[in-house]
């Protein structure tokens, strides 16, 4: 799978470990930075880059890492067509894809370590949307909210 990944300074070390691990697992990685540790960089720059890469179709899924994952998630969800979620457990990582067609996962580099991050990413990347009528109906409603800017 082609995966876009980005992280600010707070997720920089974890991102580098994850990139190496994903590549060893056979994934094609589009590393959108940070490429050097910069304590003054800002998570919205990397979150927007990953979200735009996924939205354009250049990557199938996205991974964003910042300190808590919250700011990255908020930023990514501002991009039309992105369904990002903060996940620090395997259940939400796969259920978000299966039920809600989540296409970007956000992780807190100051919240979880590499082994849990790997488990979360395995669940996220291994899941597929389940096209049951109830899930599709909900996704269609979500898309209408996104297009209209309100419920």
Cα 139 to Cα 118: distance, rounded to the nearest angstrom: 27
Q: Which residues contact 81 (CB under 8 A, 6 or more apart)?
A: 54, 55, 146
Q: Note the Cα 90 to chain centre separation in Å.
A: 14
Q: Is 73 a catalytic residue?
A: no
Cα 146 to Cα 140: distance, rounded to the nearest angstrom: 10
Q: Is 99 a catalytic residue?
A: yes
Cα 72 to Cα 34: distance, rounded to the nearest angstrom: 14
Q: Which residues contact 16 (CB under 8 A, 6 or more apart)?
A: none
Cα 127 to Cα 98: distance, rounded to the nearest angstrom: 6
Among the listed residues 27, 35, 55, 66, the single catalytic one is 66
**DSSP letter (8 states) at residue 121:** H
Kindly state the helix (H) or strand (E) to which residue 108 belongs, with its residue range. strand 104-108
Active site residues: 66, 99
């Amino acid at each position: 799978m082609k995966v876009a990944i980005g992280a600010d300074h707070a997720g920089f070390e974890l991102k580098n470990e994850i990139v190496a691990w994903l590549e060893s697992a056979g994934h094609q990685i589009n590393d959108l930075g940070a490429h050097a540790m910069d304590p003054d960089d800002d998570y919205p720059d990397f979150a927007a880059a990953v979200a735009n890469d996924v939205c354009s179709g250049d990557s199938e899924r996205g991974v964003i890492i910042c300190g808590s994952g919250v700011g990255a998630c908020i930023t990514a969800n501002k991009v039309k067509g992105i369904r990002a979620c903060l996940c620090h457990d395997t259940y939400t990582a796969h259920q978000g894809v299966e039920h809600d067609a989540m296409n970007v996962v956000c992780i807190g580099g100051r919240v979880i370590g590499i082994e849990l991050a790997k488990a979360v990413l395995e669940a996220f990347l291994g899941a597929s949307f389940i096209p049951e009528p109830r899930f599709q109906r909900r996704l269609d409603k979500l898309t209408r909210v996104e297009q209209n800017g309100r419920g």
